[in-house]
Amino acid sequence: DAMVIQNPRYQVTQFGKPVTLSCSQTLNHNVMYWYQQKSSQAPKLLFHYYDKDFNNEADTPDNFQSRRPNTSFCFLDIRSPGLGDAAMYLCATSRVRDRTLAKNIQYFGAGTRLSVL
């Protein structure tokens, strides 16, 4: 059974048209991440939520926003998608009980592949 669920699996949007990708988890993990992955590249972290605390990566464009209304759900909003935003978007979760604990297994969803026309 899928524990990190991303919807939809495939999303097509038009240039400049806002789009929202969703992620839900049944693991009750306190940390949720959003990554962007382009073809043949490693996942690139956009931001993460540690509980309700939002942590943005320094190089994440303002065009990308996120919301986490509760523990189970997290959304990725792309305000004005450009052609360069076409990619696989991955959601991941982890349980971090102690910020100093040296262990961080992240569990990934299947991803949403975004196409921008």
Give, as ranges, the residues between 64 and 103 that touch another protein (CB under 8 A): 90, 92, 94, 96, 99-103
Which of 11-19, 43-51, 62-70, 75-83 is the region at the interface with another protein (rule: CB under 8 A)? 43-51
CA quadruple 40, 46, 49, 55: dihedral sign = positive
Please report how many Cα atoms fall inside a 13 Å half-sphere around the Cα of residue 86, on the Cβ side: 10
Distance (Å, whole) CA 94 – CA 13: 30
Smallest gap from residue 16 Cβ to another protein (A): 27
| Shortest Å distance, C-beta 104 to another protein | 5
109, 9 contact by CB (below 8 A): no
Contacts with another protein, residue ranges (CB under 8 A): 4, 6, 31, 40-43, 45, 48, 50, 55, 90, 92, 94, 96, 99-111, 113
